[in-house]
Chains A and B, each alone.
Chain A
């Protein structure tokens, strides 16, 4: 649908308080009597704990408690966070204990907590807690973890294989047997942390009168947090409320439920004071989940024209020390390699290796950037080997518009069929290439070469399943004040969810976005909710909001028709009024306000409701989303490489995306550009380094490099709007569109710039020293022969 509001760049509801410094983030919450927590964390990647001495810490003035797992046990009916997504492929279950249970398996694992008057004192006391560690061998590299005889990540494990699975379709062996050309690649893709500028945090408070526990938490999924708390604390749902304040960015890891949140709840129950824990940046590097390494061995079979016959391969995936989410990342990666291309036969195997490192869970893109890197590297290889234009090889393999919807014989982790829903992929690629001046590039390169400069261009197509179901709850209610209230289980993490929902609702209820209040991420406001992940809210919550607003509108018009003695067809909702605009011959302009209409259905004791209507001017919807809309598109990057320093400058960047109908183009562009910045980080900068003993080496923002304003090119975003047939709004998610193709496009461009040297790039990110090393290697005669 497109209307007055839906499809227009409405200014955000969120902005005014944030611009004035009046947002309310987790650390802005201050309650009377509130204490602050700091955690004692393991400095070792693997150790047995032989004892914890808390005496000196407890003696420090201002310290209220020092708690270990033993101290928490009276409040726990279950001391592990059981959160893994279901899968038949697990070989072992590795849930996180709420605090260390005799063994620590990664640096940063919480061992004990200090509760003190303030964070300064709490940190003083953590230095006084004496933990007796017996250091054990650790395993850091996920490939090494799977070798026979590798140190065990967990003492009681037989090996480090957490899970293994295969996926695919078609007769892969026959396709490879009969193929004219086969090319093999070994690729390594590293991603890093989320690094929302706001770290995590939690504030827990207990109202002893009602025995109700409230947890404010910087989370993408408060309803999951509630379920975990119910499981672990043995309390009823109605004794716990989990609520999200303003959230300073999520990017994936905040969808995970964490031990610190549970500990804060128990501490407040034990001490009778509200307890706050605010993660600092160093903790974020050591205790917030990350995405890290995937090592791929892949092979592609093509015919003489470069048409794909089959792809096969294997992934080794770094899972970290615990299961904090599941097998979903390599599942996503494996499922996404075929992407927007026709791949007649496909097989991908995955092994998930436990390592003595922070658990791995989705970061913006969730396995898709890796898959995109893999398929796009393979296609560049095909183009190079067959002497074809890289864009042309892609065009030949893209699913054409005439094939839509295109079903691929794969299933998602939840058994949902993979059906590419809509769009004209070749046209989208063409649009990007034209804007980026792909055809004129050789002339630019000649000019640059004459000046001694090395420039290159690269392109990458991508597809991202978005709007993962099964639903997101939305309630739309008009109060007797005349204000429209919208409640959703989805969580606002900075992406403009409130504005997006207000636009959809206001479209049908008077057109005044300013008359809509949106409440997100509060388990007291919506009993059912899933939360924010996987670019899902516009699809799921948007659809529910659209349908719920439509139902409220129907009801509103029915009430007004009764009161104004009109037919609904003669009524129009304008701002906060329902106005009677008769077709012909009757006196005009009688009106009823939204508030008055709400009064009618609010009920009066002893009086019947008009027309046998249901009470309340409200509707709650959970539109079922059982098919995934695929957003996708093409990124084209043009770079200059300084072949003496290895420095890379992105000179031009075009991103053409198809994210279905646009609800708010300005917000969509903001997501696309912001995601691209993250992707540029994954291509060139972000490297979460560990040594061979599992010690993290990049635990501050001077060593772990986020993209700054000077490294960021201006990104041109182009749109192809192909409505998805799978939801009533025709939308697809956009939150991850920027990040997915970036590393693939940029690395392709770097390789192109270095074509005179015959350099091939097989990993991301790629750093300046690595670029120099590749050039050096390629210059050695033997290496040059090898690379042919």
Chain B
């Protein structure tokens, strides 16, 4: 299992990377390589050109912007894991990142790579769905931003045009004191989730739910945000029945069969994990900042 032959390019800027994508046939971007390299070794991917983003300046920063958190595409998952900003502003991501692969893959794997790979079972995209992240993309005619829900185009397929580069991710930050819960069921520690659930809750002065969000990863072709939980939960008092009703909203989601699990089992897990994620989020919301 050895990679097929290709040419290798090391652009120094995003513009240069975009230009290379535009001028070369059958080119692939290389970020951390933790998904692409296995595909190369197994020759499932056979690009003629590999464009390594490692030398592109400016893609490796985590910084606050407009009350949210901007994470460069080449930020290593490991840096997210140890980022004080992430832990403070986006504890959901801090919790989820611990489920991403293993120490050795987090050291190399990048945030942008994980999103662009579009694996429905991956944790970072599920967090993006829950938080309604914005994806910043650069192409030949400049940059554009799209909501995360428009980013996946199918199973392991993004909506990036062939000459576009994902440059960063923008995560809106929830109010201080919000509660978060990330739950997943994987066969072994560090495996891709069969199903994951990311939940967020904000309370108002009366201790009632002011805002709620839920995303399910691993069930369908892409992580899905269950928007209806907002209507179901806002104004309620955080009782188990409320969360169970919200979790029941997962019953109808798209879910696929594969060798590991049936769609039926995935939908079942989505309900179970959604309830657990909300329960955890609630205890954190009422217990103050996690």
Contacts and interface: CB of A to CB of B under 8 A. Distances in A.
B191 interface: yes
B140 interface: no
Contacts, number: 61
Given A282-B42, A644-B272, A697-B259, A710 B188 contact: yes
Interface in A685-705: 685, 687, 689, 697-698, 700, 702-703, 705
A280 B4 contact: no
Interface in A48-73: none
B16 to A, nearest CB: 28
B272 A768 contact: no
Contacts of A707: 188
Interface string B1-23: 11111000000000000000000
B43 interface: yes
A708 B192 CA distance: 14
B204 interface: no
Contact of A645 (B4, B188, B259, B269): B269
A123 B268 contact: no
A151 to B, nearest CB: 23
A685 B187 contact: yes
B261 A769 contact: yes
Contacts of A773: 265
Given A124-B5, A282-B1, A644-B272, A769 B190 contact: no
A651 interface: no
Nearest to A122: B2
Contacts of B103: none
Contacts of A703: 259-260
B2 A769 contact: no
Contacts of B5: 120, 124
Given A280-B1, A282-B1, A768 B187 contact: yes
A702 B193 CA distance: 11
A772 B187 contact: no
Contacts of A708: 188-190
Interface in B40-56: 42-43
Contact of A127 (B3, B43, B188, B273): B43
A488 B231 CA distance: 75
Contacts of B194: 768
Contacts of A762: none
A554 interface: no
Contacts of A170: none
Nearest to B192: A702
Contacts of B273: 645
A63 to B, nearest CB: 14
B106 to A, nearest CB: 16
A551 interface: no
Given A689-B259, A697-B259, A769-B262, A645 B185 contact: yes
Interface string A71-92: 0000000000000000000000
Contact of B188 (A280, A685, A697): A685
A123 B2 contact: yes
B185 A647 contact: yes
A772 B265 contact: yes
A122 to B, nearest CB: 9
A123 B43 contact: yes
A769 B1 contact: no
A771 to B, nearest CB: 10
A581 interface: no
A768 B260 CA distance: 9
* Size bin of chain A's contact surface: 20 to 34
Contacts of A280: 1
A645 B4 CA distance: 41
Interface in A650-706: 685, 687, 689, 697-698, 700, 702-703, 705
A702 B191 contact: yes
A773 B265 CA distance: 8
Contact of B2 (A119, A645, A685, A768): A119
A197 to B, nearest CB: 15
Interface residues of B, number: 25
B36 to A, nearest CB: 15
A124 B1 CA distance: 10
A348 B187 CA distance: 36
A647 B268 CA distance: 13
Contacts of B2: 119-120, 123
Interface in A72-127: 119-120, 123-124, 127
B110 to A, nearest CB: 19
Contacts of B3: 120
Interface in A751-788: 767-769, 772-773
A281 B187 contact: no
A14 interface: no
A698 B259 contact: yes
Contacts of A646: 265
A708 B189 CA distance: 8
A698 B259 CA distance: 8
Q: Which of B185, B260, B273 has the most CB of A within 10 A?
A: B260
Contacts of A647: 185
Contacts of A698: 259
Contacts of B188: 685, 705, 707-708, 710-711
Contacts of A685: 187-188
Contacts of A645: 185, 269, 272-273
A342 B171 CA distance: 68
A773 B194 CA distance: 16
A120 B273 CA distance: 45
Nearest to A699: B42
A697 B4 CA distance: 23
Contacts of B1: 123, 280-282
A304 to B, nearest CB: 42
A614 B181 CA distance: 80
Nearest to B189: A710
Interface string A269-284: 0000000000011100
Contacts of A710: 188-190
Interface in B172-201: 185, 187-192, 194
Interface in B272-290: 272-273
Contacts of B265: 646, 768-769, 772-773
B185 A768 contact: yes
A119 B41 CA distance: 12
A768 B3 CA distance: 35
A127 B265 CA distance: 39
Interface string A727-768: 000000000000000000000000000000000000000011
A773 B266 CA distance: 12
Nearest to B268: A772
Interface of A: 119-120, 123-124, 127, 280-282, 644-647, 685, 687, 689, 697-698, 700, 702-703, 705, 707-711, 767-769, 772-773
Given A697-B259, A769-B261, 17 more contacts: A123-B2, A124-B4, A280-B1, A685-B188, A687-B259, A689-B259, A698-B259, A700-B38, A705-B187, A705-B191, A708-B188, A710-B188, A711-B188, A767-B187, A767-B260, A768-B185, A769-B260
15 contacts: A119-B2, A124-B4, A124-B5, A280-B1, A644-B272, A645-B269, A702-B192, A703-B260, A705-B188, A711-B189, A767-B260, A768-B265, A769-B261, A772-B265, A772-B268
Sort A-B residue pairs by CB-CB distance and give the 10 closest, nearest first. Answer: A710-B189, A769-B265, A280-B1, A644-B272, A120-B2, A769-B261, A645-B185, A689-B259, A697-B259, A708-B188
Interface of B: 1-5, 38, 42-43, 185, 187-192, 194, 259-262, 265, 268-269, 272-273
